[in-house]
Amino acid sequence: MHQLNPVTEQIQISGIRRFTDLVAKYPDALSLTIGQPHWPTPQHVKEAAMAAIEKGYTTYTPNRGLPALLQAAHAYYGTKFDLDYHPEKEILVTAGATHALDISLRALLEPGDEVLIPGPAYPGYEPIVLLAGAKPVYIDTRADGFKVTSKTLQANITRRTKVLVLPSPANPTGVAYTREELEALAAVLQSTGVYVITDEIYSELHFADGHVSFATLPGMRSRTIVIHGLSKSHSMTGWRIGFVLAPAEIAQQMVKVLQYSISCASSISQYAALEALSHGQRDAEPMREQYRQNRDMVVRALTEMGLEVVVPDGAFYAFPDVSTTGQSSQAFAQALLHEARVAVVPGDAFSALGEGYIRLSYACEEQKLEAALARIGQYVARRTAQ
């Protein structure tokens, strides 16, 4: 018998992964499970990576990342989102946003700390919190359009609360916070010592182009850690490039965690990222436009089917309520796959608060989406007629 870390044993394989394994058994299914843009990485970015290989830029870089890339990230996020973080002291290049979240939480948390997570939530947060010996505390957002409010935030803060994780736009719901909504949260946090980790990985896929970073609110910068990355904005999920923007004192601690976990992000990917941030300021625009149109199609179709859905502000997900069919999330998703050959992710993959919902990703071509929605419509009509 092996004596392993009980926390690792307690962590479940992601419900998304488990379901995509099942979907693989249905090669004729139309899949709306995908969590990445369906566009290729921009050509100019690929060429920069190929040139980096040719030039032999294949060695370790400084732990924090290439100085030129840190400068480029400073300029890019400064221009786009009004973020002002010192390139040498307050920005780190990580192996994707996942790793950015990991080093942020590990640098902040002590055993026993509580971390507030608005739920339903992206399944990547909870395991990192557990591995740090801390406790995930879900804030139920279902009655509030999937957003944490000043009231629900206040009600969940205790002496042990160390961090609020705040994704905007969010996965799996696509909702994004307005400035006024963020200000209301800031007002509650002002008198506390709670840190905020804002996951802004989908910020360039905000349909109204109205992304507001929590770090830009008066008084909030010193307690805010911003998570960014190129996975979604530049369709670079496999390149593994993310960024942490954090006050110098915190970044200084994080760099140690980064150093001993990965040494540095891939040098080739960093050169690709340098190109993306230097010359790809508008790369996300065509994707955003297509996903906005897809969003409209999805919301229209779901509403016609009689399924309730909160209108997503960004990303490429919708999270309709399927409880009216009388089925659980799992039962609905499995039957939809089996009978209608459409794959979606059961909502319980996004914490227990996702039960009764499904996540569908509209990061795909319009024709495929249209066909999949027609099949879902027929399935729902059959179910509700029973």
Between the alpha carbon of residue 362 and those of residues 7, 39, 106, 233, 376, the distances in Å are: 34, 12, 33, 15, 14
Q: Tell the smallest beta-carbon distance from residue 298 to ligand PLP (Å).
A: 17
Q: Which is nearer to ligand PLP, 61 or 235 (CB)?
A: 235
Q: Tell the smallest beta-carbon distance from residue 235 to ligand PLP (Å).
A: 11
Q: Tell the smallest beta-carbon distance from residue 29 to ligand PLP (Å).
A: 21
Q: Which is nearer to ligand PLP, 205 or 301 (CB)?
A: 205
Q: Which is nearer to ligand PLP, 32 or 340 (CB)?
A: 32
- Say which residue the tokens 């192996």 belong to: 95
Q: Tell the smallest beta-carbon distance from residue 280 to ligand PLP (Å).
A: 16
Q: Which is nearer to ligand PLP, 61 or 173 (CB)?
A: 173
The residues of the shown chain that bind ligand PLP, judged by CB under 6 A, are 35, 96-98, 122, 124, 167, 171, 199, 201, 229, 231, 237, 242
Q: Which is nearer to ligand PLP, 171 or 290 (CB)?
A: 171
Using Cβ positions, the residue closest to ligand PLP within the complex turns out to be 96
Residue 303 tokens, joined: 């509403």
Q: At what angle do helices 67-81 and 267-279 cross, to 10 degrees?
A: 40
Q: Which is nearer to ligand PLP, 11 or 331 (CB)?
A: 11
Q: Which is nearer to ligand PLP, 171 or 267 (CB)?
A: 171
Q: Tell the smallest beta-carbon distance from residue 363 to ligand PLP (Å).
A: 11
Cα–Cα dist 316/369, whole Å = 12
Q: Hey, what amino acid is at 284?
A: A
Q: Tell the smallest beta-carbon distance from residue 258 to ligand PLP (Å).
A: 14
Q: Which is nearer to ligand PLP, 295 or 301 (CB)?
A: 295
Q: Tell the smallest beta-carbon distance from residue 37 to ligand PLP (Å).
A: 11
Q: Tell the smallest beta-carbon distance from residue 199 to ligand PLP (Å).
A: 5
